[in-house]
Amino acid sequence: MILTEIDHIAIAVRDLEAAVDYYQRAFGATVDHREVVERDGVEEVLLKVAESYIQLLTPTRPDSPVAKAIEKRGEGLHHVGYRVVDCKEALKAMVAAGATPIDHEPRMGSRGTTVAFIHPKGSFGALIELVQE
């Protein structure tokens, strides 16, 4: 088994402040981390749930993949981040199992993680992110 934990559930939203406020009020969740990831054109807020996170994502520019996803499908579940020990090895194993990689090599994610995305096509419709802490 190459997965160690669910790292995060990512939810794409239009109004980050409103979403953070809602999750805080509804769940009593607390903000653990906040970051603008320029490369991906997103701002994210991580709310801690045990050892995992709810990741609220909003686009910072119109050409960001998250902006396009919201335009196409509206707000909602965007991807699942699975925590792995070794992102490169996990990516290799997934590709060998038939996954279609978006990132062919692991790259830098938010909060200093190493990540790689797997295309929903070939993964039963779910966008997958492998996350190595």
Q: Quick one: 65 or 122, whose CB is closer to Co ion?
A: 65
| One residue of 81, 94, 118, 130 binding Co ion per CB under 5 A | 81
Task: Choose one: 16-24, 45-53, 64-72, 76-84; the region binding Co ion (CB under 5 A).
Answer: 76-84
Q: Quick one: 81 or 106, whose CB is closer to Co ion?
A: 81
Name the H helices within the chain: 16-27, 65-73, 87-96
Which residue in 37, 120, 130, 50 sits closest to 82, CA to CA? 130
| One residue of 13, 19, 83, 129 binding Co ion per CB under 5 A | 129
40 sits near Co ion (criterion: CB under 5 A): no
Q: Quick one: 25 or 35, whose CB is closer to Co ion?
A: 35
- The DSSP line for 68-104 is HHHHHH-SEEEEEEEEES-HHHHHHHHHHTT--BS-S
The least distance separating Co ion from the CB of residue 118, rounded to whole angstroms, comes to 12
The contact set with Co ion (CB under 5 A) reads 10, 81, 129
